[in-house]
Amino acid sequence: MTDFDETRAAFHLPEGVVYLDGNSLGPLPLAARERLSAMLMQEWGEQLIRGWNTAGWYVQPRKVGDRVAKLIGAAPGTVVMGDTLSIKVYQALSAALELNPDRRVVLSDDGNFPSDLYIAQGLLTSLGRGYELKVVGPEEVEKSIDETVAATMITEVDYRTGRRHDMKAITAKAHRAGALAIWDLAHSVGAVDVDLTAADVDFAVGCTYKYLNGGPGAPAFIYVAPRHADRARPSLSGWMGHEAPFAFDLDYRPAPGIERMRVGTPPVIALTVLEAALDVWEGVEMRDVRAKSIELSERFIAGVETACPGLELGSPRNPAVRGSQVSFRHPHAYAVMQALIARGVIGDFRAPDSMRFGFTPLYLGAADIDRAIGVLADVLDKRLWDRPEYHRKASVT
Amino acid sequence: MTDFDETRAAFHLPEGVVYLDGNSLGPLPLAARERLSAMLMQEWGEQLIRGWNTAGWYVQPRKVGDRVAKLIGAAPGTVVMGDTLSIKVYQALSAALELNPDRRVVLSDDGNFPSDLYIAQGLLTSLGRGYELKVVGPEEVEKSIDETVAATMITEVDYRTGRRHDMKAITAKAHRAGALAIWDLAHSVGAVDVDLTAADVDFAVGCTYKYLNGGPGAPAFIYVAPRHADRARPSLSGWMGHEAPFAFDLDYRPAPGIERMRVGTPPVIALTVLEAALDVWEGVEMRDVRAKSIELSERFIAGVETACPGLELGSPRNPAVRGSQVSFRHPHAYAVMQALIARGVIGDFRAPDSMRFGFTPLYLGAADIDRAIGVLADVLDKRLWDRPEYHRKASVT
């Protein structure tokens, strides 16, 4: 049984704040400070260049990858860290298309995170040769998979509504049609129970600054199914993915397995912070997290619907098809969110009219949810959002 | 006049070590610890998601880029930070090829860092359509530029020998032939006087963990000449390079100017360390750095050639065509370097037979050079390298 008092104590949570935006950026794991300080002084400071061997920096992307693998039902040696999620989407899509060379359609949906679509657009424009990105509604994905589709590229949990796709069914349908399935786990890893092996997924990618609490700009990860790992050609063929990076050969030869998905010099400092963040997950059972996530989300929905009749639920009502976040719609969602934030309840706004609230069992409990509901009701009842300062948009909203 | 005593005091240099590998990984700037601690607690810890606005994380890649720009003769607003050098090479080459659509040859040389060649191979394989990477000897580059060449892709300073290309002449020749010039500044930035504007360079890329001391895996940078910045299509079209990232449109529209070369969420923690590292450069004149670099290198070459007759200079003798590093060849270069490192003189080995020594004026002086020469002479005179432990190769060498 997971001890959520212990996990909560592992984070720095600002006084007076209810943080419902851990689905965007997780809070600081307290151990990160000491870990980072030790890395700076004892590793970088004292070992200097030798740290690549003596401090294990060189193997860190794979070692941390194995820790992430455990959270998504992936075998050791199938996940590697590095770069950003957008870069990892590019790698996965590019490799998948080459593994299915006679087809030209990439299938996605309009609930996907836009950067995934942008990356696909950029790649397909480069490739030319009739490649096409087909974007359908989320409910249309399964029925749109046919023999023209080279790969599906889907984010499991919708970044706005929290709607959760059926990973297993879509992957199976893709395979029956001869397509490969790529899954973006940005809003899944650490949030819902993912089993890439059971779902027979081909490629998966994700980030670590949301539910895994790795900090702003924490490194991304990529999973490649073992059956593809030695055949997938890395289009971003950097030296760290070479079979023998330090032989300095002039020709690229991909490393065996997942290592070929490494590109450049790994982000050691960021990976060190992430290691401290992953320590919190030791002893945590994903099924306990999922159960508590549903409990908190259900409590929030019921409480808001009772106390705030002016809001419209923007998320699926059935928790089985919902991730670990809930959104509510309001015509002045931006200003309402600003008023909430000014009162210590932090969620976020997603254009055009959604307020998004994330439920992160590692450090949130029922009392936080109740307080958030109370503040939200107050802001709406008293129209506290109707002040000019809450309508001014910041550069990042 | 640059105060090199002050710059030296800004770094943590381990007791008893002469560090001649700052061309591979610069030492820890002492201010990084406090800066990072403040970033963790006051920014990430307290501001959480709001840090993107309130702590300036969102604009950091551009702000830091402007600081790097100053060191390479680039105007404000022409450089942006992010990703790794290999990714930035990919972006630059991909954009350059599209700006010169009727040509199919990428020209490089076999003194280029292999990752650049690997990245080109990966990109050109993806593109198909008859694209070709032509790799010539370093001396052949200028004469090999003809009307078939779409872009030259050259590293200014050779990672092994320190040989320095004539950036201005090669760029001019490329332009006369209708080609674009891409320069990799990995061993140039902070090491030699670079003036991208005067040389009329089209694209430049570089890393910040060498002479800029940003730490292991510090972010890379890309420069795009203002004349191309609004026309270059980003093939890695991530949301941070979108004209309006937070509008969450389904279609990619590149941001104006250099911002379009951003890809995913920026590495805030690593950029914060880099900011502390760049503070050391405030008040430093690049011409003073270059003058002292030549002084140190010349002293080292003269001393080694006198004291170690068994070594062969692997670098150009003329400092005008040499960067800030010197290599010497020895049949047992690997073992000799291990013996040196065991005695506190840290350089590195580059296959097959080079010992590489970097000269970093911010924290090295004549006494360091003399001590290194003395230890090297001792290791060779007494054949101290001829012990089994110095012949065992580590994973990263």
Task: Say whether B59 and A220 touch across the interface (CB within 8 A).
Answer: no
B25, B85, B114 member nearest A49 (Cβ): B25
Enumerate the known binding-site residues of B: 85-86, 113-116, 155, 184, 187, 209, 239, 265
Q: Do A216 and B12 touch (CB under 8 A)?
A: no
Residue A219: closest C-alpha in chain B: B267
Burial code (b: 16+ CB inside 10 Å, e: under 16) for A152-174 equals bbbbbbbbbbbbbbebeebbbbb
End-to-end CA distance of chain B: 37
- Can you spell out the DSSP letters for B47-108? HGGGHHHHT-TTTHHHHHHHHHHHHTT--TTSEEE-S-HHHHHHHHHHHHHHHSTT--EEEE
pLDDT averaged over every residue in chain B = 97
Percent of chain B exceeding pLDDT 70 equals 99
- Best interface-test mutation with A: which of B18, B23, B44 has the largest number of A CBs within 10 A? B44
Is the pLDDT at B143 greater than 80, yes or no? yes
- The predicted-structure confidence for B42-64, as pLDDT tens digits, reads as follows 999 999 999 999 999 999 999 99
* Predicted local distance difference test score (pLDDT) of residue B274: 98
pLDDT of A397: 46
Residue-range domain boundaries for chain B = 4-28+285-390, 58-279
Instruction: Please judge whether B125 and A395 are an interchain contact, meaning their C-beta atoms are less than 8 angstroms apart.
Output: no
User: In CATH, what class is B4-28+285-390?
Assistant: alpha beta
Please tell me the number of Cα atoms within 13 Å of B278 on its side-chain side.
Answer: 20
Residue B76: is the preceding peptide bond cis (ω within 30°)?
Answer: no
Query: Which chain B residues touch A122 with a CB distance below 8 Å?
Result: 233-237, 252
Distance CA A213, CA B128 (A): 41
Q: In 3-state terms, what secondary structure has residue B137?
A: coil
Is A113 part of any known ligand binding site? yes
Averaged in consecutive runs of 10 residues, what is the pLDDT profile of chain A (397 residues)? 97 97 98 96 97 96 98 98 98 98 98 98 97 98 98 97 98 98 98 98 98 98 98 97 94 97 98 98 97 98 96 97 98 96 96 95 98 98 95 69
- With a threshold of 0.90, tell me whether the complex ipTM lies above it: yes
- Residue B50 appears among annotated catalytic residues: no
pLDDT interval class at B397 (50, 70, 90): very low
Residue indicated by tokens 């890439």 = A196
Could you give the dihedral angle defined by the CA atoms of residues A240, B79, B262 and B281, in that order, rounded to the nearest 10 degrees?
60
Question: pLDDT value at position A255?
Answer: 98
Q: What is the pLDDT of residue A394?
A: 66
d(CA A311, CA A334): 13
Rounded to whole angstroms, the Cα distance separating B31 from B24 reads 21
Pairing type for strands A149-155 and A345-346 reads: unpaired
Give the integer Cα–Cα distance in Å for B91 and A144.
33
Is residue B392's pLDDT more than 90? no
Per residue in A242-300, pLDDT tens? 999 999 999 999 999 999 999 999 999 999 999 999 999 999 999 999 999 999 999 99
User: Cβ of B126 and A127 within 8 Å?
Assistant: yes
A265 neighbourhood in chain B, CB within 8 Å: 84-85, 207, 209, 216-217
Collapsing DSSP states into helix, strand and coil, what is residue B180?
Answer: strand
Q: Mark the binding-site residues of B for pyridoxal 5'-phosphate, compressed into ranges.
A: 85-86, 113-116, 155, 184, 187, 209, 239, 265
B52·A269 Cβ contact <8 A: no
Q: Which of A115, A273, A349 to mutate to test the interface with B (most CBs of B within 10 A)?
A: A115
Q: Cis ω on the peptide bond leading into residue A266 (within 30° of 0)?
A: no
| CATH top-level class of B58-279 | alpha beta
Please list every residue in chain A whose beta carbon sits closer than 8 Å to the beta carbon of residue B40.
28, 32-33, 36
Quote the pLDDT of residue A392.
87
Q: What is the mean pLDDT of residues B217-234?
A: 98
Residues from chain A that touch B20, judged by Cβ atoms under 8 A, are: none
Contact, A347 vs A355, CB < 8 A?
yes
Residue B326 has pLDDT above 70, yes or no: yes
Region B220-237 average pLDDT: 98
The CB density around residue B146, as the number of other CB atoms within 10 Å, is: 12
Q: What is the pLDDT of residue A393?
A: 79
Residue among B183, B396, B43 nearest A49 (CA): B396
Our answer to whether residue B113 is catalytic in this structure is: yes
C-alpha dihedral (A25, B77, A122, B247), degrees to nearest 10: 50
Q: Which of B35, B62, B163, B210 is catalytic?
A: B210
Cβ of A351 within 8 Å of Cβ of B234? The answer is no
Residue type, A255: A
Active centre residues of A (catalytic) = 113, 184, 209-210, 356
CB contact (8 A) between residue A239 and residue B115? yes
Token pair of B215, please? 């730490």
